[in-house]
Amino acid sequence: MRFVTLVNELSLEDLHAIARGLSPKSVSDRDFHETLAVHKCFVVPPWVVRANPTGGLTRICQMQYDALGNIDKCRMLLRVAQILREAEGPESGFGGRFAI
C-alpha cells in the first residue's frame, strides 16, 4: 500500500519509522487533520469517523493516545489507512493517498 500525508508528504515507511521511534520527524496537527479530511474522515472523540455519501457517519477507529495523553497522530493515520484499505479494497477511489 502506498500512503502519503497531505501536507508534509510523509510516506507509509516514514509513518512506521515515526511510530517505532526511529525517526525524528513528526506528524503535524495540520497534516493529521487535512489528511483525514481528504478521505472524508474527522475526529469525534473517542472515534475517527467517516462521512458516507448518504449523509451518515461510519466509525473508522478509536482514538489512540501516547504515554502523555496526547493524540498519537502517526499511529492513528496508520490505522485509518489500514481500515480504509481493508474496507474499500483496491477500487477505493481515494486517488493517490490510499492505494495499493
pLDDT in tens, 27-80: 999 999 998 998 899 999 999 999 988 888 999 999 999 899 999 999 999 999
Q: What is the 3-state secondary structure (H, E, C) of the chain?
A: CEEECCCCCCEHHHHHHHHCCCCCCCCCHHHHHHHHHHCCEEEECCEEEEECCCCCEEEEEECCECCCCCECHHHHHHHHHHHHHHHHHHHCCCCCCEEC
Cα–Cα distance, 64 to 76 (Å, whole number): 6
Half-sphere exposure in the Cβ direction for 99 (13 Å, CA): 9
pLDDT for 95 beyond 80: no
Cα–Cα distance, 63 to 47 (Å, whole number): 5
